[in-house]
């Protein structure tokens, strides 16, 4: 393992982490402000990817597709909030879990009904394809660097939004006291729709970009959703800072675990066995991480309201 390879793997972990942050920040915001567990968050990721792929395929431009994907995710988020989600704010977590589980089924099958069973085509835009040289000689895809940059931008923007703007003030007020912002004369219903759509848009953004790297297919949101939940639980639900730290932690642990565990086992096993055992443990690693963190910090690393 050379230093440059290690550096490259750290970048990979960082990239996975920033992508997770796009998902997790929306999820944690919605929980922090409205107290809602949204299992259907992965569906917005899928909507973003499908609309981007479809639009890009039709117009020939990734960028038009990206814009359409984000807008569509936000719009779908707003509609879902108006029709379904707002009936769930005062419900128990159990009802929220079931209702949003139902939404997953509806979105997955609805998407399949609209777009068919086959995965859609979506590629990295021409301008961002290719790879650049890294210090140490290896090469790294430009598009992944862009994802990291977008993740960092979104993180900064979110921090500014929450700490500097009126909307952010309302969001913070909502986190600390839901009754109070009602009393302040803020239209709480509108605020909730806005926050929910914002979260959906971020998920859509993640889906659009990742769709270009991976495959755009029904069900693509579910593995990401579970990872995003692991992230926000590790970070402390409701905390944007926690989501950021959690994302990076999960991204790095997952990537490095996949790389190093098999190598570790190769010290005392045959390569094939080591690869198998290492991969098995690597796939369990982030869940182990989460269990350990919660065992010692039952409300995550940065519990928002504690």
Partner 1 sequence: MTRLHKGALDKTPGATPVPMPRIQRETWVNWALLGLLLLAPMIANALGEVYYVNLATRIAIVTMAAVGLNLAIGYGGMISFGHAAFFGLGGYVAGISAFHAFDMTPVLSWPITMPGTDNLLVIWLVAMLSCAVLALVIGAISLRTSGVYFIMITLAFAQMIYYFAVSWPTYGGEDGLPIYLRNQFPGLDTNDPLTFFLICFAALVLALAITARLMQSRFGAALTMARLNETRLATAGIAPYPIRLVAFVISAVITGLAGALFADLNGFVGASMLSWHRSGEIMVIVILGGVGRLYGPLSGAMLFVLMETLLGGLTEYWLLFLGLILLFVVLFARGGVMGLLAGRARHE
Partner 2 sequence: MKKLTAVGLGLLMSTGLASFQAQADEVKIGMITTLSGGGSHLGVDIRDGFQLALEQSGRDDIELLIKDDARKPDVAKNLADEFIQRDKVDILTGIVWSNLAMAVVPSVVRQGVFYLSPNAGPSDLAGRLCHENYFNVAWQNNNLHEAMGAYMQQQGLKKPFILAPNYPAGTDALEGFKSRYHGGELAGEIYTQLGQTDYAAEIAQIRASDADSVFFFLPGGMGIAFTKQFHGSGVELPLFGPAFSFDEIILGAVGEAAIGVVNTSQWAYDLDNPTNQAFVESFREAYGRTPTLYASQGFDTANLILSALETAHPDDADAFREALRAADFESTRGEFRFGKNHHPIQDIYVRTVVAGDNGQPTNRLVGVAVEDMQDVFVDECRM
Contact partner, 110, from partner 2, partner 1, none, Cβ < 5-8 Å per class = partner 1
- Taking residues 32 to 71 in sequence order and writing x for each that binds partner 1 by CB under 8 A, - otherwise, the string is -----x----------------------------------
> How far apart are the C-alpha atoms of 167 and 89, rounded to whole Å?
20
> How far apart are the C-alpha atoms of 21 and 240, rounded to whole Å?
9
Q: Is 301 in the site for partner 1 (CB under 8 A)?
A: no
Contact partner, 2, from partner 1, partner 2, none, Cβ < 5-8 Å per class = partner 2
- The window from 99-107, 171-179, 182-190, 242-250 that contacts partner 1 (CB under 8 A) reads 99-107
- The window from 107-115, 127-135, 169-177, 187-195 that contacts partner 1 (CB under 8 A) reads 107-115
Please give the radius of gyration of the chain, using alpha carbons only, rounded to the nearest integer: 20
Residue 159's nearest CA partner among 167, 151, 150, 168 is: 168
Q: Which is nearer to partner 1, 106 or 150 (CB)?
A: 106
Q: Which is nearer to partner 2, 9 or 84 (CB)?
A: 9
Contact partner, 104, from partner 2, partner 1, none, Cβ < 5-8 Å per class = partner 1
> How far apart are the C-alpha atoms of 117 and 148, rounded to whole Å?
31
Alpha helices in 165-239 (DSSP H): 166-176, 178-183, 188-213, 221-235
Q: In the bound complex, what is the minimum distance in angstroms from residue 136's beta carbon to partner 2?
A: 11
Q: Which is nearer to partner 1, 135 or 298 (CB)?
A: 298
Residue 150's nearest CA partner among 57, 14, 53, 43 is: 14
Q: In the bound complex, what is the minimum distance in angstroms from residue 262's beta carbon to partner 2?
A: 7
Which residues is 132 bridged to in the sheet?
140
Phi, psi of 139 (to 5 degrees): -115, 150
Span 235-294, contacts to partner 1 by CB under 8 A: 237, 276, 279-280, 283-284, 287-288, 290-291, 294
- Taking residues 176 to 215 in sequence order and writing x for each that binds partner 1 by CB under 8 A, - otherwise, the string is ----------------------------------------
Q: In the bound complex, what is the minimum distance in angstroms from residue 221's beta carbon to partner 2?
A: 11
Q: Which is nearer to partner 1, 74 or 293 (CB)?
A: 293
Phi, psi of 259 (to 5 degrees): -80, -45
> How far apart are the C-alpha atoms of 206 and 154, rounded to whole Å?
11
Tell me the three state secondary structure of residue 177.
coil
Q: In the bound complex, what is the minimum distance in angstroms from residue 182's beta carbon to partner 2?
A: 37
Residue 78's nearest CA partner among 175, 184, 204 is: 204
Contact partner, 102, from partner 1, partner 2, none, Cβ < 5-8 Å per class = partner 1
**Which tokens belong to 146?**
């862009």
Q: Which is nearer to partner 2, 6 or 294 (CB)?
A: 6
Q: What angle do CA 70, 208, 210 make, to 5 degrees?
A: 150
CA dist 12 → 29, 56, 112, 226 (Å): 26, 26, 31, 19
Judged by the rule CB under 8 A, the positions of this chain that interact with partner 1 are: 31, 37, 84, 87-88, 91, 93-95, 97-99, 101-106, 108-110, 112-113, 226, 229-230, 233, 237, 276, 279-280, 283-284, 287-288, 290-291, 294-295, 298-300
């Amino acid at each position: 393992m050379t230093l440059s390879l290690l550096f490259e793997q750290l970048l990979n972990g960082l990239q996975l982490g920033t992508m997770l942050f796009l998902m997790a920040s929306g999820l944690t915001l919605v929980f922090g402000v409205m107290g809602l567990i949204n299992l259907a968050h992965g569906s917005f990721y899928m909507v973003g990817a499908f609309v981007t792929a479809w639009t890009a395929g039709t117009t020939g431009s990734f960028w038009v597709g990206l814009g359409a994907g984000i807008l569509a995710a936000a719009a779908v988020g707003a509609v879902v909030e108006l029709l379904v989600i707002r009936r769930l704010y005062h419900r128990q977590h159990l009802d929220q879990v079931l209702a949003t589980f139902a939404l997953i089924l509806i979105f997955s099958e609805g998407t399949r009904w609209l777009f068919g069973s086959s995965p859609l085509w979506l590629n990295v835009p021409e301008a961002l394809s290719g790879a650049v040289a890294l210090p140490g000689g290896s090469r790294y895809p430009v598009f992944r660097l862009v994802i990291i940059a977008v993740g960092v931008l979104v993180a900064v923007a979110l921090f500014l939004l929450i700490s500097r703007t009126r909307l952010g003030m309302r969001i913070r007020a909502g986190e600390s006291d839901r009754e109070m912002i009602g009393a302040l004369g803020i239209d709480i219903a509108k605020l909730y729709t806005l926050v929910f759509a914002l979260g959906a848009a971020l998920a859509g953004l993640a889906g659009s970009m990742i769709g270009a790297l991976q495959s755009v297919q029904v069900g693509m949101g579910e593995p990401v959703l579970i990872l995003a939940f692991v992230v926000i639980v590790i970070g402390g639900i409701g905390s944007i800072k926690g989501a950021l730290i959690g994302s990076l932690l999960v991204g790095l642990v997952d990537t490095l675990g996949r790389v190093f565990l098999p190598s570790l086992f190769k010290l005392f096993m045959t390569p094939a066995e080591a690869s198998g055992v290492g991969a098995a443990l690597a796939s369990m690693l982030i869940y182990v991480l989460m269990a350990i963190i919660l065992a010692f910090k039952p409300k995550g690393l940065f519990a928002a309201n504690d």
